[in-house]
Structure 1
């Protein structure tokens, strides 16, 4: 996959991505055909190809559109209006909300199922989601505001630890279909406890 290729956006770009999202989650990557995606999106194949050169780039666009909610967290990080503890709570809660969402779970299943045959899709999912999140969290942990409160030598490791604290047994329950649509109060409770544990390790004395 040529990740550097520029994708042209136009009037029906979002329409194509929405149609692709539906088909990929329904059929998986290999089972999804360009014909079916165009049909679900309500566009011609010519229109689809005017935006995306191949199915791989379209799949990546779906991933990136869903991970765009990180922008809210990036804004909060840059705004500097929240305390470090509150910012960490927002990061954890937003991360958990995406991980536990039906789309997040469905996309995770698709990427895991296809990763052996199409390792570039697993890489795309990792780069667009976990890796990008890790970098953004590490950047925040390296900021003067965070460093005034936290004592961290390895911000990348600390960022990963914070994210892992959010992946509790609840994630497995949702992944295996034991629990669906966990209540926001439970997500908030787990995020709060994750921040408490993180601060117990890294807060300056």
Structure 2
């Protein structure tokens, strides 16, 4: 049995250490997991990237599974918080439904570069899904994608109550999903989650097209 497997299986959990070393480990692990994936990433490589010893890694996280969980949840929570702030900023007080939704979609896509390290992790989840711990994937979905979709859904329900969107509780989840798919989905898929570059003008054109379709589906009056 490898040292890594033994460390993951024994003891009640990882011991705590300094906050600085913990953050260094999270940053280093995010880099290595994003580059190598979960299965290929090695404890020695992660520790070296973080500038700490493997023993320090075990003391903090207990092993690779716990470390991957912490990295993914930390990254997902950070991106979710940024997206929720965008949603609140653009849809919290709407003056022009078409322009406010356009502004949200544009800023959402413009921020992709800022979240590039997280997107690397997401690509690894997609490619290595069968090899990843199922409970970790479920927790990531709850913390990340589902939380963002729920934030959009709640705002759409409010806008529906204000008479600005043809959205009510019964179709609000559908509307939130369509908004994401129409404004970000084709860019995400066609760039393979950022692997293949796409000119900014093309990204902007796809966002505009997606918003226009969404508004035709859900906006009241002529807001497209």
Which position in structure 2 is the counterpart of 1:89?
Answer: 102
Which position in structure 2 is the counterpart of 1:165?
Answer: 182
SS at 1:11's partner residue?
Answer: helix
Which position in structure 1 is the counterpart of 2:131?
Answer: 117
Stretch of structure 1 that moved more, 109-118 or 70-79: 70-79
Residues 1-16 of structure 1 mapped to structure 2, 5 A cutoff: 10-16=19-25
Shift in Å at residue 187 of structure 1?
A: 2.4
Distance 2:167 2:113 in 1: 26
RMSD (Å) for aligned C-alpha atoms: 3.3
Distance 2:151 2:15 in 1: 24
> Which whole-Å deviations, capped at 9, do the CAs of 1:132-159 have from their partners, x for residues lacking one?
221111122123x453211213211111
Shift in Å at residue 45 of structure 1?
A: 3.0
Shift in Å at residue 39 of structure 1?
A: 1.4
Which position in structure 1 is the counterpart of 2:152?
Answer: 137
Distance 1:163 1:115 in 2: 22
Which position in structure 2 is the counterpart of 1:203?
Answer: 219
| The structure with more radius of gyration | 2
Shift in Å at residue 65 of structure 1?
A: 3.7
1:70 equivalent to 2:83? Answer: no
Which position in structure 1 is the counterpart of 2:9?
Answer: none
Distance 1:61 1:183 in 2: 34
- The number of equivalent residue pairs is 199
SS at 2:19's partner residue?
Answer: coil
Distance 1:82 1:7 in 2: 48
Distance change in 2, residues 1:139/1:17 (3 Å): same
Task: Tell me the TM-score normalised to structure 2 length.
Answer: 0.71
Query: Does the CA-based 8 Å contact 1:77-1:87 persist in structure 2?
Result: no
Query: Does the CA-based 8 Å contact 1:137-1:159 persist in structure 2?
Result: yes
Unaligned runs of 5+ in 1: none
Which position in structure 1 is the counterpart of 2:5?
Answer: none
Which position in structure 1 is the counterpart of 2:192?
Answer: 175
